[in-house]
Amino acid sequence: MAMQLDPKAGPIGIFDSGYGGLTILNAIRKQLPQYDYLYLGDNARTPYGSRSFEVVYQYTLECVRKLFELDCQLVILACNTASAKALRTIQQHDLPLIDPNRRVLGVIRPTVEAIGNLTKTRHVGLVGTTGTVQSLSYPMEVNKLFPDVAVTGEACPMWVPLVENGEHDSPGADYFVEKQLNHLFAADPEIDTLVLGCTHYPLLLNKIRKYTPPHVALIVQGAIVADSLADYLHRHPEMDQRCTKKGTCRFLTTESEEKFATSASIFINETVVATHIVV
């Protein structure tokens, strides 16, 4: 389908399957408050974590195209599942056809860059969606940069639904967090660094800390992705010029506006007014 691409500057697009990307948006806005942001949550089709490569790629591409139509020149996939399953194809196949001057960046590479220097035992644990863990994107990226580091992944299919349904502080969350972490640390007791490889998981941070051995460092992605974006914009002034800077933030959802506004308040400390869109 032909797209009307607007060559002028626009807000930075932040995309997630649902609300999890708001944890990344918060950290980015804290570090780079001068930019304009356009957040898109594909809440009508969340979760992505249990879906096939083809479906995650298709959904993610539709959302990226929508953000491009709305003038975003740079889009961050603030979702590990989309970064794992769709980013490479979008960067290599779709961007050259849509507009070679636009950029789509993910959250896995910056996270991997940060962990290699933190682990002493060289044993790293990863918690994420089934899609992220089964894609092996983390072990493959880690292997490129730090071949001596072993990654053990634990798929946690219940964690995103707990967060999306506001159950992250409930006893039900205790049950599922303890169960998956016990399984992970039994599989590799030498883990000294645990990556929260899903943007929803900061909401479960207290429970994850509770069931993680105290000597294990927890890696939360928000600040890492924000640092990486600041560095990217510094190194690419041509892109920086095409990102508008009035300090605004707008929210789009594929679900109902009321539902988004209510649930987003779990993640973000301000009144959210969302606009419904069809991608």
Residue 200 engages ligand DGL in binding (rule: CB under 6 A): yes
Instruction: Give 156 or 181: the residue with its C-beta nearer to ligand DGL.
Output: 156
Instruction: Give 46 or 119: the residue with its C-beta nearer to ligand DGL.
Output: 46
Task: Report the alpha-carbon distance of residue 85 to residue 55 in Å, rounded.
Answer: 9
Q: How far is the CB of 64 from ligand DGL (least distance, A)?
A: 15
Stretch touching ligand DGL by CB under 6 A, among 40-48, 147-155, 246-254, 261-269: 40-48
The answer to whether 193 and 207 are in contact (CB under 8 A) is no
Residue 135 engages ligand DGL in binding (rule: CB under 6 A): no
Residue 60 engages ligand DGL in binding (rule: CB under 6 A): no
Per-residue contact flags (x/-) with ligand DGL for residues 156 to 195, judged by CB under 6 A: ----x-----------------------------------
Work out the number of other CB atoms within 10 angstroms of the CB of residue 253.
25
Task: Pick the binder of ligand DGL from 46, 73, 119, 244 (CB under 6 A).
Answer: 46
State the distance between the two ends of the chain, measured CA to CA, in whole angstroms.
12
Task: Report the alpha-carbon distance of residue 163 to residue 204 in Å, rounded.
Answer: 8
Stretch touching ligand DGL by CB under 6 A, among 6-14, 27-35, 77-85, 254-262: 77-85
Task: Report the alpha-carbon distance of residue 159 to residue 211 in Å, rounded.
Answer: 14
Alpha carbon 56 to its chain's center: 13
Work out the number of other CB atoms within 10 angstroms of the CB of residue 101.
12
Instruction: Give 10 or 49: the residue with its C-beta nearer to ligand DGL.
Output: 49
Task: Report the alpha-carbon distance of residue 262 to residue 243 in Å, rounded.
Answer: 29
Give the tokens for residue 39: 């957040």
Walk across the sheet containing 274-276 and list its strands. Answer: 103-105, 74-77, 12-16, 37-41, 249-253, 274-276
Could you say which residues in the range 218-277 bind ligand DGL, by CB under 6 A?
none
Task: Pick the binder of ligand DGL from 74, 79, 203, 249 (CB under 6 A).
Answer: 79
Catalytic residues: 79, 198
Among candidate residues 208, 190, 19, 227, the one with its CA nearest the CA of residue 109:
227
Residue 49 engages ligand DGL in binding (rule: CB under 6 A): yes
Residue 17 engages ligand DGL in binding (rule: CB under 6 A): yes
Residue 80 engages ligand DGL in binding (rule: CB under 6 A): yes
Residue 132 engages ligand DGL in binding (rule: CB under 6 A): yes
Residue 20 engages ligand DGL in binding (rule: CB under 6 A): yes
Stretch touching ligand DGL by CB under 6 A, among 6-14, 17-25, 85-93, 224-232: 17-25
Coil, helix or strand at residue 15: strand
Task: Report the alpha-carbon distance of residue 277 to residue 219 in Å, rounded.
Answer: 33
Instruction: Give 10 or 37: the residue with its C-beta nearer to ligand DGL.
Output: 37
Stretch touching ligand DGL by CB under 6 A, among 45-53, 144-152, 204-212, 248-256: 45-53
Which alpha helices (H) appear in the chain, and where do they start and end? 21-31, 53-69, 80-85, 87-89, 95-98, 108-115, 130-135, 137-145, 159-164, 171-187, 205-210, 221-235, 237-240, 257-267
Q: Which residues bind ligand DGL (CB under 6 A)?
A: 16-18, 20, 46-49, 79-81, 129, 132, 160, 198-200
